Amino acid sequence: MYDKSTLDQQAKVLFSTMKKLGKKANFWSLCLYQNNQYTLGQDSISNVFKPDFANNLGMRLTVHSNNGFGIVSSPGFSEDKLKNMFNQAIGLCEITKNMMAFNTDMAPYSTHEGNYRSKHEFEWSPYKTSEQSDLFNEILNSVKNNKYFKSLHLNFQNNDVVYYYMNNKGSFQVNEQFFIETFIEVGVEKKGKNIIRSGKDIVQGESLALNPVKLTKEVSRLYQEGENLLTNQIKYKTKNTTIVLDNDIMGLLLHEVMGHPLEADRILGDERNFAGITWVKPEMFGSFMIGHPSLTVTFDPFDINGSACSPYDQEGFIQKRMNLVENGILKAAIGSALSQYRFKNQINCAKSLRASSWEKVPIDRMGNINIEPGENSMKDIISSIEDGIFLKTPSSWSVSYDRSNVELVAEYGQIIKKGKLIDKYVSHVGFKANAPEIWQNIDKIGDFSTYQVSSEVNCGKGETVDSLNTSHGCPIISFKNVLTFSKL
């Protein structure tokens, strides 16, 4: 664990220095960032235990002056570095003077103060190698005697992140975030045919890594699904049919063709990297029927099961739970207070300016984006389908430049006939969809019993690319008349 008292003292000194330096700037904000990262991994083939530790420490300074903008970052904490950073930022303000897409001297700023500490019940650093190895062997023993078992790989990563924020308008915040990433791969084999089933879990709260019983059940489930593919896999033909998406692949669909298109910098035309533009237009907000009337999508920074839980974004603005889509109607974008200002406050923005670290520039990024549960049980959904397919776990995907077209391929699928899941399975079956039509073709939304939070580990955006975690709580959902195909 990090030494919080030492960090507090360093922050106090640096903020005091910045108050003296920053008197000639219209606005400045300083963030101090530290991430202690512990990684533990083991597999049944080499049986090698690989503990790893990394520490990432640095500062980021933003300055607005004379209608110019400057942002500078530096590794480590020191007063001399901070002085150099300020001088560089002032120089950038002179270079960009009167060249910005907005008047920096009129930009909104935070005046909020507060502290946040995420749910944290486990200190990873003292977790002994022998204890972790015992946990792995306990889980391995639960599956290794199964007929088709070949391999097991587990990887855990714990991140302890501390983020201090201060500006010259009275805002001061300390965010402490702790989240654990769990990655699982189970391999099965029959007569030289190999199949991998994978799973992941990334949360700030209760994690699979902390619950051996749940972890064992998850490994057993993945093994059984791998065995299903080995013993009862059929060939799949291209056709239009009803698809039912499990939580993990549903979360990725939400991420790619709802979350990213609603990011305000894309709508404003700023962001064009990584399929960067969007099919969403400013005039759609408030009236456009983006999805089925049963569809409500929320931005929820207080979902403790998500990996992006925090009451503040990285320019100090308070984040609030809000509906992005309400009963199918587009209501709000995902963006910063600055983006809302640039929309002339005609479009509401969920305050979500994010970056993964001190060396990255915070930009409009989704956080915890969820689909609210409906009223249908899993049984209700399956029993209503004459012919269809139930898909789990994305294995590959591609998205068009404006994110209006998507192709998603699943690791695992099970055939639905006459209202029942039958013992016929498919691997690497995908579907193609257009937005917003895919959201308008929703058939049934699962109830809370089908709801689960999944996470995207490396959501990439920006130039240079910045990868960070996002989370998506989704029920199981069915869609009618979707084009499906096999990648095998």
CA 249 to chain centre: 13
At 135 the pLDDT is: 79
Residue % of the chain over a pLDDT of 90: 75
Q: Decide which of 232, 254, 287 is a domain's last residue.
A: 232
Asked whether the beta carbons of 93 and 68 are under 8 A apart, the reply is yes
Q: Are residues 176 and 257 located together in one domain of the fold?
A: no
Query: What CATH number is given to the structural domain containing 69?
Result: 3.30.2290.10
The lowest-confidence range among 303-312, 321-330, 441-450, 468-477 is 303-312
| Residue 380, CB-side half-sphere exposure with 13 Å CA sphere | 13
The total number of structural domains in the chain stands at 2
Instruction: Return the structure tokens found at 339.
Output: 């983006």
| pLDDT tens, residue by residue, 345-360 | 999 999 999 999 999 9
* Residue 292 in this model has a pLDDT that exceeds 50: yes
Return the higher-pLDDT residue of 37 and 162: 162
Looking at residue 308, its pLDDT comes to 87
Task: Give the separation between CA 287 and CA 304, rounded to whole angstroms.
Answer: 31
Q: Give this prediction's pTM.
A: 0.94
* 139 shares a domain with 253: no
Q: Domain of residue 220: give its range.
A: 4-232
Task: Give tens-digit pLDDT for 217-256.
Answer: 999 999 999 999 999 999 999 999 999 999 999 999 999 9
The residue-averaged pLDDT of 266-276 equals: 82
Query: Are residue 224 and residue 356 in the same domain, yes or no?
Result: no
The pLDDT score that the predictor gives to residue 200 is 85
Question: Which tens digits make up the pLDDT trace of 98-143?
Answer: 999 889 989 999 999 999 988 755 554 445 566 677 878 888 999 9
Q: Of 214, 232, 250, which residue sits at a domain end?
A: 232
**Same domain flag for 200 and 276:** no
pLDDT at position 126:
43
**Residue 203 pLDDT:** 66
* DSSP code, position 379: H
In this structure, the answer to whether residues 266 and 222 fall within a common structural domain is no
Residue pair 156/131 in contact (Cβ under 8 Å)? The answer is no
- On the question of pLDDT at 79 being above 60, the answer is yes
pLDDT in tens, 28-77: 999 999 998 888 788 887 776 667 888 899 999 999 999 999 999 999 99
Same domain assignment for residues 418 and 368: yes
Supply the pLDDT for residue 157: 82
Give residue 201's pLDDT band: very low, low, confident or very high (50, 70, 90): confident
Given a contact cutoff of 8 angstroms between Cβ atoms, the answer to whether 361 and 62 are in contact is no
DSSP run (H or E) holding 244: strand 239-245
407 shares its domain with 306: yes
The number of angstroms, rounded, from the C-alpha of 465 to the middle of its chain's C-alpha atoms is 15
**In this structure, are 100 and 66 located in the same domain?**
yes
